[in-house]
Structure 1
Amino acid sequence: MENIYDLVIIGGGPCGLASVVEAKVAGIKSVLLLEKGTNHSQTIRTFYKDNKRVDKEYKGLESQTKGRVKFETGTKEDVLNYFDSLLDSENIDAFFNTEVEKVIKNGDIFEIYTSNKIYKSKFAIIAIGRMGKPNKPSYKIPPSLNGIVNFNLDKCGNNERILVVGGGNSAVEYAISLSRTNTVTLSYRKMEFTRLNDINLKDIKYEEKYGNLILRLGTDVESLENEEGKILAKFKDGREFIYDRVIYAIGGSTPVEFLKNSNVEIDDKGVPIVDEYCQTKIKGLYIGGDLITRSGGSIVFALNHSNTIINHIVNK
């Protein structure tokens, strides 16, 4: 007989992992987790620097978890270890290196399309994050610079002249971390930071005051060019500087094409339209995590979404 899962969860971040736990404790027997990365929590692994503090309270938002999965402020490593233990504690099918192309409802059954197989399920949860598709600048990046234009810290070395572009917490943390072994400039298009937590705001002011990095506020990059294997960054104010590497930390965007291919309705901001149970207009298809929040990636929000979704599925 054809294998039809009770629930397929797409995305192995906080919402996806919590959904696994909530589902199993609630008695949902057949659960499948699909994650395109090599492991769970790819956003945290890729975009958070080592020992980064991961806050329970986020921008003054709700900080109390409602479900079976609890969460406390800790380091990146603490959070990953905790999620490891959650995944190991549950008897589920989990397939990594598996990217989902679309989710289509056929009658009462969802068909989850991957590059080499179609999985079937009675219910489906989309728990992918915005940072799976990092924002890129509006201007073209010359292909010859691809190796030295990055969107995380993976390829960074030492003794480089680095330009970090962005004004959020990740940009500031990248700049401060890299400044220990490199010459770093942080460029932000606004005249002041508006999205930083108190600690990062204090730290960046300290680092600039003591000359540990260069801070350029009110500056915006207009284009990048290859100049003898290095990056010539041209700014809108007419200034030009040479760098060994440029790192963009300008947020992430909703994977609009995936949502459209799955017939999920989105608003004019690219945010999926869901009801109070995180259910799309396609009955039985849910979305949780920062895809449906306008205020950013709160882990507590993601965990609570999973509790809301699973309770609704069980009640149905």
Structure 2
Amino acid sequence: MKNLYDVAVIGGGPCGLASVVEAKIAGIDKVLLLEKGTNHSQTIRTFYKDNKRVDKEYKGHDSNTRGAVKFETASKEDVLNYFDTLLDTNGIEAVFNMEVEKVTKEGEIFHIHTSKGEYHAKNVIIAIGRMGKPNKPLYEIPRSLNPVVNFNLDKCGSGEKILVVGGGNSAVEYALTLSRNNTVTLSYRRDKFSRLNDINLKDVKTAEKYGKIILRMSTDVESIENEEGKPLVHFKDGREFVYDRIIYAIGGTTPVEFLKGSRVEMGEKNIPLVDENCQTNIKGLYIGGDLATRSGASIVFALNHANTIISHINDTLPA
């Protein structure tokens, strides 16, 4: 085939970027990156406010990078600039605005089906992540409130009364960022935080102590309705509050249909099954990053997945 790649990577986040860079450094020449967004690192660009800190440490995970791509805690802008440099320096062939519909295998060749045609590769790495599709609450959100209901920090201004719903690192970081210029309440359905890194836990407790954030633990939203253009929030404990804006940070969902369409075997909670090399039940098809974990992954975790995968692929390619 004329356009047969040794490695094709689906997804331009940390795992995807590291995969194509590691492949090039390992001497694998025919490498392709496919990303449905307009640029790489869509999660960082979308969910991180300008100048927000991007942490290296995460939930006790190993923070040592094993491959050629390194990472240290830095601002959003510095991280994006670093990834830009990696792509430019290594001459990566990347196609953006390209959404992959499914991956099939015939013989030893993978067919990557996209909205604009097919690509072909000997090995495929799926590194699309969970956060490309944020979770939404089970209760109905009135369409009239769409302008003031967010799943990231886009369109947030200042001087607003904001409710942030969630108890993970993203929720806390959203609340901390917004509290600089807004009145922020953070609502979490559990009585204590169990998924925060040490820095965020300390910062949110300090913010509560000094009145920067109102914490409503053991609270759950039952429903919301429109009251004169603002969200009226009904909590399950009977309390009601009106806010200017609601931001949901309640995780992301595994793209189940895409994986099933590619015949990837799934385990509990629709987590794809992979071996120690991040290879699925289909030889040559790999999954890296938080999509292959039960509890989410740090950027370092994703970078190390890329190193593991490329090392295994490099061992299988003919000399």
The residue number in structure 2 matching 1:142 is 142
The residue number in structure 2 matching 1:255 is 255
1: CA distance between counterparts of 2:193 and 2:135? 19
The residue number in structure 2 matching 1:235 is 235
2: CA distance between counterparts of 1:278 and 1:216? 39
1:174 CA displacement: 1.1
Work out whether 1:196 is the aligned partner of 2:203.
Answer: no
The residue number in structure 1 matching 2:305 is 305
The residue number in structure 2 matching 1:246 is 246
Q: Which is worse superposed, 68-77 or 287-296?
A: 68-77
2: CA distance between counterparts of 1:198 and 1:225? 36
Tell me the SS of whatever aligns to 1:124.
strand
The residue number in structure 1 matching 2:88 is 88
Tell me the SS of whatever aligns to 2:310.
helix
Runs of 5+ unmatched residues, structure 1:
none
1:52 CA displacement: 2.7
1:196 CA displacement: 1.9
2: CA distance between counterparts of 1:287 and 1:102? 14
Q: How does 1:167-316 map to 2 (within 5 A)?
A: 167-316=167-316
2: CA distance between counterparts of 1:35 and 1:172? 28
Q: How does 1:152-163 map to 2 (within 5 A)?
A: 152-163=152-163
Tell me the SS of whatever aligns to 1:290.
helix
Letter in structure 2 aligned against 1:47:
F
The residue number in structure 1 matching 2:38 is 38
Letter in structure 1 aligned against 2:75:
T
Query: How many residues of Structure 1 are paired with residues of Structure 2 in the alignment?
Result: 316
Deviation track 1:233-284 (CA, whole Å, cap 9, x = no partner) reads 1110111111121100111121111111111111121111011111111111
Work out whether 1:70 is the aligned partner of 2:89.
Answer: no
User: Does structure 2 conserve the Cα–Cα contact (< 8 Å) formed by 1:30 and 1:92?
Assistant: no
The residue number in structure 2 matching 1:25 is 25
1:210 CA displacement: 2.3
1:160 CA displacement: 1.7
1:36 CA displacement: 1.0
The residue number in structure 2 matching 1:9 is 9
2: CA distance between counterparts of 1:20 and 1:185? 41
Tell me the SS of whatever aligns to 1:264.
coil
1:186 CA displacement: 1.0
Deviation track 1:98-135 (CA, whole Å, cap 9, x = no partner) reads 11111111222111111121111111100111111111
1: CA distance between counterparts of 2:167 and 2:41? 23
1: CA distance between counterparts of 2:222 and 2:290? 29
Tell me the SS of whatever aligns to 1:177.
helix
TM-score scaled by length of structure 1: 0.96
1:211 CA displacement: 2.1
2: CA distance between counterparts of 1:91 and 1:289? 23
Tell me the SS of whatever aligns to 2:268.
coil
1:169 CA displacement: 1.7
Work out whether 1:79 is the aligned partner of 2:65.
Answer: no
Percent pairwise identity: 75
The residue number in structure 2 matching 1:101 is 101
1: CA distance between counterparts of 2:24 and 2:33? 12
1:304 CA displacement: 1.2
User: Does structure 1 conserve the Cα–Cα contact (< 8 Å) formed by 2:57 and 2:197?
Assistant: no
Q: Which is worse superposed, 55-64 or 113-122?
A: 55-64
Tell me the SS of whatever aligns to 1:130.
coil
Q: C-alpha root-mean-square deviation of aligned residues, in Å?
A: 1.4
2: CA distance between counterparts of 1:175 and 1:130? 21
TM-score scaled by length of structure 2: 0.95
